[in-house]
Structure 1
Amino acid sequence: MGNLRFTTVLKKTSKPCLIFNFMSKQFTLADTFFQQWDRGDKLFELSTSGTTGLPRKIRHRRDALIWSAEATRTAWFDDPIFHPLSQLCCLPVDKAGGMMQLVRSRVWGAPLYLVEPSSNPLLTEFHPSQITSLTPMQLEAVVENPISSQKLSNFRAVLIGGQALNPILEMHLLKTFPMVQFIHTFGSTETASHFAGRLIGSADSIFTVIGSTQIRVNTQNELEISNPSTQEKWITTHDLVEITSPKSFRWLGRSNCVVNSGGLKIQLEMLEKEIAMISGWPINSFCCFGIPDTLLGEKLMLRTLERKDSIEEIFTVLSVLPTVHQPKGIVIVKEIPLTVTGKIRR
């Protein structure tokens, strides 16, 4: 721990609620949230990630946040092996994923260890927690480093949110961390937190909703959901899904993340997952996009970080894809723009 400051904070309760290890912006934001929570504020504000547009503010009711925390515990953490439900928080607490960890610590009356968000938060930090939440980008960095990988094996459960997972990463998690329960969550800022999840290794990548969440699709096959976080109103998520049961669905891609090339609609996120599988590249090290084309309407392109492979070698890797899914051009860049939550900024 070095010279890092270690402080225990108790807030109007006999239960341990929060443990910080240093003073930072993360500390200030969390402390402000707890002051609002403890005085009984009824509304809490979050910013969207800005993945497909400008970030915007969304307000959520206290009772909806409590419902989410309770539904999460019932769905995944009722088993005594997860108690005392202590969490390591290494996500920004002014975004949905991090703020909901603060909410859960209050609702569950459980310890929370707060550290500064980074690409690999376990490299220098570890606290004896049962549960943590990571973005796929953080998880990739954690498992690639032997020090942080060893620390990851000490958790009982890891919630993974933010974007699609690399299939190669999923296989590595199952093989290397058999005692850790990895849960790929599904949700948005508009729903305060996740409203569904799937256990890594479960068949067919099916997401199951939590609590009283109801689901349906509209005429465009976009997922619509209703639960206490939406005040029981139906909202459209712009996620294309296949409903597999009244309580489960298979994710197909984003309706607003499509290239229409020659009349064929190509789901970029599903294609990126396929490319990650055949190439072994980390998900966030490349992305697909479209540019105007007089013949096709839009032409499929690939943007990628600099690699040891030549352009010709990259095209060879991609040649195993169906012809219509093969990018027609490659752009080499020094960085892929990401949101603060680790999603590709389209």
Structure 2
Amino acid sequence: MNPWISFSLTLNGKTYANGQLVELANELNKALHKNWQRHLGNFIKSWISDSDEISVQTSGSTGKPKLIRVKKSSMLASAANTCQFFHLQPNQNALLCLDTEYISGMMMVVRAMLAKLNLIVVPPSKSPLKFLADSQKIHFASMVGAQIHHSLIDETCRKFLNRMDTVIIGGSSISSYLEIELIKSEGNFWCTYGMTETLSHVALRKISPHLPPNEYTALPGVHFDLDPRGCLIIHANYLPEPVITNDLVKLLDSSHFQWLGRWDFVINSGGIKIYPEELENALSPYFHYPFFITSLSDEIKGEIPVLMVEYDHTPDEKTMNEWNKILSSVIPSKKKPQLIFTYPHFIYTSTGKIKRNQTLRQYLEKNHGKDF
């Protein structure tokens, strides 16, 4: 007998059980011009199939996206961790504003099924709160940094965001500028740490001026250690084997760490290790355009840091002088980017992460022959 067909799901106040979920999935798959609805229908179909596993696609932020097979029982265990940590109760409203093509959106559906939540479904846009009525109550939501950013700059959305009981923020680390804005908002916001391979987050960090900055705490059943590179190894009781990451961390104990950056992003410039994410965090209050720190090969130093800014046109001399002044005042001279590149269209994953290597490569290809 298929145990997965017995699950029920409440969407926008209507509960679907047993055969009704099949009908719902088929109806969602008819949405010809709305991929996100078809993705939701496909996920529901996969969940209620008789297979104990499901295919999940990685985001592709650090390499080519790939499909992996994961156990539904492991997804349920991960969902239970989150539901228990945040004390989610039946009939509470959970907001689904992420694409269910990826693990972040899938896990919101699994949490809703497990905890009997009412899933409020809106398009996974940059400003998902615009689709909600002012009177709508949201007890729990999962959003990415770009959605938080756009919600904060719209006054109506900002007020709605502050009324939500709990918001977890994933996808990538948030900037210090965004964190300051969230602290001002006085809402209940949490940064998450996790990945597709861990079936959503395995550690959380509450955004608060009264707590240690950048310190993540493991969820129950999860503990950490380090590999020889200083990268985090994740042990979760619902995963068949440890997950070895490329995330450099300062391990405080087996349940707490401070995130430093990606091992594969580290720049070695004249023997000095530069963590791009550390510089980006320092610069974020001053740059209101998307940007990132990358590197180019250098005959003398091995590598030199480079600042890339998403900017629609070639910046004038005044703008470049302002940017260089910011770099000199914020970043130590030995770590300061030696070059500034502007490019009108960064390459992003579907989950909003910048594809750094691909963006730099495309920039260099289009500017081939210029003196770098």
What's the counterpart of residue 142 of structure 1?
A: 151
What's the counterpart of residue 69 of structure 1?
A: 79
> d(CA) in 1 for partners of 2:280 and 2:140?
29
What's the counterpart of residue 5 of structure 2?
A: none
* Alpha-carbon offset, residue 130 of structure 1: 0.9
In the alignment, structure 1 residue 155 sits paired with structure 2 residue 164: yes
Deviates more, 1:295-304 or 1:145-154: 145-154
Counterpart AA for 2:302? G
- Of the three residues 227, 230, 234, the one matched with 2:239 is 230
User: Matches of residues 113-124 of structure 1 in structure 2 within 5 Å?
Assistant: 113-124=120-131
Counterpart AA for 1:342? G
Instruction: Name the SS for the 1:168 alignment partner.
Output: helix
> d(CA) in 1 for partners of 2:139 and 2:131?
18
Runs (5+) with no aligned partner, structure 2: 1-11, 357-372
Runs of 4+ in structure 1 displaced over 4 angstroms?
20-23
- Of the three residues 289, 293, 298, the one matched with 1:288 is 293
Point out which structure has higher relative CO (alpha carbons under 8 A, 6+ apart). 1
- Of the three residues 297, 303, 311, the one matched with 2:308 is 303
What's the counterpart of residue 368 of structure 2?
A: none
> Identical aligned pairs, as a percentage?
27
User: Matches of residues 36-75 of structure 1 in structure 2 within 5 Å?
Assistant: 36-75=46-85
Instruction: Name the SS for the 2:69 alignment partner.
Output: strand
- Of the three residues 323, 331, 338, the one matched with 2:333 is 323
Instruction: Name the SS for the 2:264 alignment partner.
Output: coil
Instruction: Name the SS for the 2:83 alignment partner.
Output: helix
> d(CA) in 1 for partners of 2:346 and 2:275?
19
> d(CA) in 2 for partners of 1:12 and 1:200?
40
* Alpha-carbon offset, residue 83 of structure 1: 5.9
> d(CA) in 2 for partners of 1:235 and 1:36?
25
What's the counterpart of residue 92 of structure 1?
A: 99
> d(CA) in 1 for partners of 2:82 and 2:50?
22
User: Matches of residues 78-227 of structure 1 in structure 2 within 5 Å?
Assistant: 78=87, 84-126=91-133, 127-176=136-185, 178=186, 180-201=187-208, 202-227=211-236
Instruction: Name the SS for the 1:175 alignment partner.
Output: helix
> d(CA) in 1 for partners of 2:275 and 2:66?
25
> d(CA) in 2 for partners of 1:70 and 1:39?
21
Runs (5+) with no aligned partner, structure 1: 1-5
CA 1:172 to 1:344, structure 2 compared with 1: closer, same or farther past 3 Å? same
In the alignment, structure 1 residue 250 sits paired with structure 2 residue 264: no
What's the counterpart of residue 12 of structure 1?
A: 18
In the alignment, structure 1 residue 276 sits paired with structure 2 residue 287: no
* Alpha-carbon offset, residue 106 of structure 1: 0.9
> d(CA) in 2 for partners of 1:245 and 1:258?
24
* Alpha-carbon offset, residue 275 of structure 1: 1.1
Is contact 1:191-1:229 (8 Å) kept?
no
Counterpart AA for 1:224? I
> d(CA) in 2 for partners of 1:295 and 1:123?
52
* Alpha-carbon offset, residue 225 of structure 1: 0.8
CA 1:85 to 1:138, structure 2 compared with 1: closer, same or farther past 3 Å? same
Instruction: Name the SS for the 1:158 alignment partner.
Output: strand
Task: Look at both structures and tell me which one has the larger radius of gyration over its CA atoms.
Answer: 2
Is contact 1:60-1:229 (8 Å) kept?
no
Deviates more, 1:83-92 or 1:311-320: 83-92
> d(CA) in 2 for partners of 1:246 and 1:214?
5
Tell me how many residue pairs correspond in the alignment: 330
> d(CA) in 1 for partners of 2:300 and 2:168?
44
Instruction: Name the SS for the 2:84 alignment partner.
Output: helix
| TM, length-normalised to structure 2 | 0.83
What's the counterpart of residue 339 of structure 1?
A: 349
CA 1:85 to 1:210, structure 2 compared with 1: closer, same or farther past 3 Å? farther
* Alpha-carbon offset, residue 264 of structure 1: 1.4
* Alpha-carbon offset, residue 143 of structure 1: 0.3
Is contact 1:168-1:280 (8 Å) kept?
no
Instruction: Name the SS for the 1:97 alignment partner.
Output: helix
CA 1:190 to 1:225, structure 2 compared with 1: closer, same or farther past 3 Å? same
Is contact 1:27-1:114 (8 Å) kept?
no
| TM, length-normalised to structure 1 | 0.89
Instruction: Name the SS for the 2:294 alignment partner.
Output: strand
Counterpart AA for 1:173? L
> d(CA) in 1 for partners of 2:306 and 2:319?
16
> d(CA) in 2 for partners of 1:8 and 1:26?
19
Instruction: Name the SS for the 2:130 alignment partner.
Output: coil
* Alpha-carbon offset, residue 11 of structure 1: 2.4
CA 1:85 to 1:254, structure 2 compared with 1: closer, same or farther past 3 Å? farther
> d(CA) in 1 for partners of 2:81 and 2:205?
15
Counterpart AA for 2:132? E
* Alpha-carbon offset, residue 182 of structure 1: 0.5
> d(CA) in 2 for partners of 1:104 and 1:61?
15
What's the counterpart of residue 359 of structure 2?
A: none
Cα root mean square deviation, aligned: 2.5
Counterpart AA for 1:298? E
